[in-house]
Amino acid sequence: MDQKRLKKRLFLNDLFKNLFSLSVVFALLVLGILFYRIIADSIGWLSIKFLTGNLSIFPEKAGIYGVMVGSVWLMSIVVPVTLILGVSTAIYLEEYAKKGNIQMLIKVNISNLASVPSVIFGLLGLAVFSRLFNLGSSILAGGLTMSLLVLPIVVVSSQEAIKAVPSYLREASYAMGADKWTTVRRVVLPVALPGILTGAILSLSRAIGETAPLVVLGIPALLLRVPTSVMDNFTALPIQIYYWTLDTVLTAEYANLAAATIVVLLLILFMMNSVAIVIRNKFEVKF
């Protein structure tokens, strides 16, 4: 009798173990199908001509050179702005701020800001950068909006990196007669740099794929001129994917263009993440 119950219990254990593992299998399967579908759709469309050509209303002539340039321009705003704002905020919180209300306020604020839907940042950008500062749908407006969106990621990862710098290194510096800024600049930041860069790349990969805030800013659908300054209007990879996907109703081939653009976007993300992993593994100091 007992033997039978034990058998049943063990059977249930194995059954549920396998059921649970199916969830993981399902998620991985979806990931596989997703990649497969996108690659399959892009085959025949992803070519040198596609990468170097300009946008066109004829699908077979369309290329995303200007779109990629737009994304690069966008990043040229996001990188310096988020790094300066994010790292400074992290330094302030970890090295300078006294424990108290202001420090708490900033910390709580950042964790809440991280969970604000991206479309809301779009509304902020629309009201403040586009209309109030009159930047319209320019690269600058898009870049600043995107910078604020990913700011919490950079702050939190920089904080982690700075926190991981052992306090005995700071002590060694102070004991040599270094002042606070010297200690931060010569000891803390160099040691924290790999962690900071890893976080910065992760935030960039978020920014480069983010769509909603840019759509809210009214980034135009079809733009034939390649941008040449931060005040120019622009389009970016995710925007172009969005409009092409919407327009598949009109022209089926747009789905292929969207898929090819997705492949480009995913490849860029993959490269960025690889760089982040290399930095983390190669340059991070272990204590």
Partner 1 sequence: MKEIELTNRINTTDKMVFDVKGLNLWYDQEQALRDINIGIEKNRVTAIIGPSGCGKSTFIKTLNRMVENIPSVRITGEILYHQQNIFDKAISVEELRTRVGMVFQKPNPFPKSIYENVVFGPKIHGIKDKNLLMEIAEISLKRAALWDEVKDRLKKNAIGLSGGQQQRLCIARALAVNPDILLMDEPTSALDPIATGKIEDLVLELKKDYTIVIVTHSMQQAARISDKTAFFLTGELLEYDETKKIFSNPQHKKTEDYVTGRFG
Partner 2 sequence: MSDRETDVREIIQNNIRNKKGIVNKIMPVFFFIMASVSVLTTIGIIVTLVTDAYKFFSAVGLSEIFSTRLAPLRAEDPTFGILPLINGTIIITAIAMLVAIPLGLTAALYLSQFASPRVRKTVKPILEVLAGIPTIVYGFFAYTFVTPMLMSLIPTLESKNALSPGIVMGIMIIPLVASLSEDAMNAVPEILKEGSLALGSTKLEVAIKVVIPSAISGIIASFVLAISRAIGETMIVTIASGSSKAFTFDITRSMQTMTSYIVEFTSGDAGSGTTGYYSLYAVGLILLSFTLVMNLIAQYISRKYREEY
- Near partner 2 in 149-178, by CB under 8 A: 151-152, 155, 177
Selection from 136, 151, 119 nearest residue 230 by Cα: 136
For residues 3-62, which are near partner 2 according to CB under 8 A? 9-10, 12-13, 16-17, 19-24, 26-28, 30-31, 33-34, 37-38, 41
**Which residues have CB under 8 Å from 151's CB, separation 6+?**
82, 85, 86, 89, 110, 113, 203
Select from 44-52, 139-147, 181-189, 243-251 the region that touches partner 1 (CB under 8 A).
181-189
| CA gap 86, 104 in Å, rounded | 17
| Binding status of residue 190 toward partner 1 by CB under 8 A | yes
User: Which of the listed partners (partner 1, partner 2, none) does 126 bind, with a CB threshold of 5 to 8 Å by partner kind?
Assistant: partner 2
**Whole-number minimum distance, CB 149 to partner 2, in Å?**
9
- Nearer CB in complex with partner 1: 6/172: 172
| CA gap 125, 120 in Å, rounded | 9
Select from 35-43, 64-72, 153-161, 172-180 the region that touches partner 1 (CB under 8 A).
172-180
| Binding status of residue 98 toward partner 1 by CB under 8 A | yes
| Binding status of residue 267 toward partner 2 by CB under 8 A | no
**Which residues have CB under 8 Å from 82's CB, separation 6+?**
147, 150, 151, 154, 200, 203, 204, 207
DSSP sequence for 96-126: IPPSSHHHHHHHHHHHHHTTS-HHHHHHHHI
User: Which of the listed partners (partner 1, partner 2, none) does 209 bind, with a CB threshold of 5 to 8 Å by partner kind?
Assistant: partner 2
User: Which of the listed partners (partner 2, partner 1, none) does 38 bind, with a CB threshold of 5 to 8 Å by partner kind?
Assistant: partner 2
Within 13 Å and on the Cβ side, how many CA atoms surround 238?
A: 18
| Binding status of residue 191 toward partner 1 by CB under 8 A | yes
**Whole-number minimum distance, CB 121 to partner 1, in Å?**
37
**Whole-number minimum distance, CB 20 to partner 2, in Å?**
4
| CA gap 53, 216 in Å, rounded | 27
| Binding status of residue 97 toward partner 2 by CB under 8 A | yes
User: Which of the listed partners (partner 1, partner 2, none) does 223 bind, with a CB threshold of 5 to 8 Å by partner kind?
Assistant: none
| CA gap 212, 216 in Å, rounded | 6
Are the C-beta atoms of 216 and 130 separated by less than 8 Å? no
**Whole-number minimum distance, CB 139 to partner 2, in Å?**
18
Selection from 173, 169, 194, 191 nearest residue 182 by Cα: 173
For residues 202-261, which are near partner 2 according to CB under 8 A? 205, 209-212, 215-218, 238, 241-242, 245-246, 248-249, 255, 258-259
What stretches of 66-184 adopt beta strand conformation (E)? none
Q: Which positions lie near partner 1, rule CB under 8 A?
A: 98, 166, 168-169, 171-179, 182, 186-187, 190-191, 285, 287
